A and B are shown apart, each in its own frame.
Chain A
Amino acid sequence: MTKVSITVDGVLHESEVEPRTLLVHYLREQVGKVGTVVGCDTSSCGACTILLDGRSAKSCSVLAVQADGSSVTTIEGLAGDEWHPVQAAFKECHGLQCGYCTPGMVLSAVDLLSENPNPSEAEIREGLEGNLCRCTGYHNIVKSVALAAQTMKGGK
């Protein structure tokens, strides 16, 4: 077992993990952040996306030991008293159907908007390249991100 200290959604966790523990399993099973989900075994779907030191990463493709000393934001830590503007926009624009891809979509969108607050439709689609959705056909997801960009510019 290896000792790791990882800040998850603002709370520091000192834990013992096996080196082979994937960050996503650590988050779900040791920290209880079951909002972060696993959708594939090939690093393709992005359902497991979290923010690792502020940048999006696929938590199925990071070992917990690699995240030692880092700070993780999961979908559960995104909202304050109100929804994060990206979450609110997904609700407003019906950016989800089954919702399985949503935690990852939302966090990828947050990452995209932090780098590019004013993305074009093409830039939104490219920014979400690492996230697959089997339900929506993406159109409403793209609309959601565009709306979030607008509301966030409004100082929300």
Chain B
Amino acid sequence: MIPSKFDYVRPNSVDEAVAALKAGGEDSKVITGGQSMLPLLRLRLAAPSVLVDCARIDEMKGVKDNGDSVTIGAATTHWDVLHNDIVKTHVKLLADATATVADPQVRHRGTFGGALAHGDPAGDLPAVVLALDATMEIAGAKGRRQVAAKDFFVDYFTTAVGPDEILVSITIPKLGKGWGTCYEKFNRTASGWAVVGVAAAVKVEGGKITDARIGLTNCAAVPVRASSVESALKGASASAAEIEVASQSAAEGTRATSDLAADKEYREHLMRVITARAVSCAAGA
């Protein structure tokens, strides 16, 4: 279908973009890669009055190494994330999860920030930033603010980014020595979308797990941490058997729904199985 009519502006800076959103009124919308927006526009599920194209704002692109953390511009494409050496070395979990997102064409255009701001419960990257305790920088008319990943995802397709705000960048702390990571995704062959996805970061010292961070994809309206598995893992040996036992509580605190891909019960079963797989892989078990 052909989208309904809208105006289009392509600002050169974050300040200009914020001003354009404000000037456009409540129906103005950001577009970066457009890989979620274009399908919505075509089906007329979105009918913005103005689209503010942030894809060419230099400040919102690229990857910076800050020493103990990495900052990634929100408009950096999935493809650029995948091909970035800083990401590959220091945020491998993000690279691994991004490699499972969609297909080459979508990865060439879709952006890291777009995938987070969209707030799709089935999106792979929200669970990654939640597991890694990332911080988002959001710009609005009143200036910039920092929002922790745990406060960023509010509800289905709803994030902390207000209608007149822009997600500028994402800062991810580096994991120190001894940490291993893994993104494990269960999907149907014909569709790349996760039925359940698990982003795991595990610290192993002397054969024992001393710390664990686990983010779950598509297990609630927002990504959730498998907190009780995280606690159960602490002190466990990095063996497949102990990891499997600890992973039995993976569905605690989730709010799985039933859909065409899986009913609630099966999805909860998958959470336990895929969590065990992701943690074992991250721990090298």
Query: What is A's interface to B at a CB cutoff of 8 Å?
Result: 2, 18-20, 22, 25, 41-43, 46, 49, 52, 55-58, 60-63, 65-66, 68, 108, 111-112, 127, 129-131
CB within 8 Å of A: which of B1-55? 1-8, 10, 31, 34-35, 38-39, 41-43, 51, 53, 55
Question: Is there a chain A Cβ closer than 8 Å to B103's Cβ?
Answer: yes
One of A60, A63, A108, A129 near B8 (C-beta < 8 A): A63
A19 x B1 contact (CB < 8 A): no
Number of A-B contacts defined by CB within 8 Å: 82
Q: Which residues of B lie under 8 Å from residue A49 when comparing CB positions?
A: 105
Q: Chain B's nearest CB lies how many Å from the CB of A86?
A: 15
Q: Which residues of B lie under 8 Å from residue A61 when comparing CB positions?
A: 34-35, 38-39, 105-106, 109
Q: Is chain A's binding surface mostly helix, strand, loop or mixed?
A: mixed
B108 x A129 contact (CB < 8 A): no
Q: Which residues of A lie under 8 Å from residue B102 when comparing CB positions?
A: 130
One of B6, B8, B31, B105 near A58 (C-beta < 8 A): B105
Q: Chain A's nearest CB lies how many Å from the CB of B103?
A: 3
List 18 A-B pairs, Cβ < 8 Å.
A18-B5, A19-B6, A19-B8, A20-B2, A25-B2, A43-B38, A55-B108, A57-B105, A58-B106, A60-B38, A61-B38, A61-B39, A61-B106, A62-B38, A65-B8, A65-B10, A130-B105, A131-B103
B106 x A43 contact (CB < 8 A): yes
A111–B3 alpha-carbon span in the complex (Å): 29
Closest 5 CB pairs of A and B: A130-B103, A19-B8, A129-B103, A61-B38, A20-B3
Q: Which residues of A lie under 8 Å from residue B3 when comparing CB positions?
A: 20, 22
Question: Is there a chain A Cβ closer than 8 Å to B235's Cβ?
Answer: no
Beta-carbon nearest neighbor of A68 in chain B: B10
A41–B104 alpha-carbon span in the complex (Å): 18
A56 x B8 contact (CB < 8 A): no
A20 x B6 contact (CB < 8 A): yes
Q: Chain B's nearest CB lies how many Å from the CB of A156?
A: 23
Q: Which residues of A lie under 8 Å from residue B10 when comparing CB positions?
A: 65, 68
A129 x B192 contact (CB < 8 A): yes
Other A-B pairs, 6, CB within 8 Å; known A22-B2, A57-B108, A65-B53? A41-B1, A60-B42, A63-B38, A63-B51, A66-B53, A130-B106
Q: Which residues of A lie under 8 Å from residue B42 when comparing CB positions?
A: 22, 41, 60
Q: Chain B's nearest CB lies how many Å from the CB of A102?
A: 16
Question: Is there a chain A Cβ closer than 8 Å to B79's Cβ?
Answer: yes
Beta-carbon nearest neighbor of B191 in chain A: A44
A20 x B105 contact (CB < 8 A): no
Given A20-B2, A20-B3, do A63 and B105 touch, yes or no (CB 8 Å)? Answer: no
A58–B35 alpha-carbon span in the complex (Å): 9
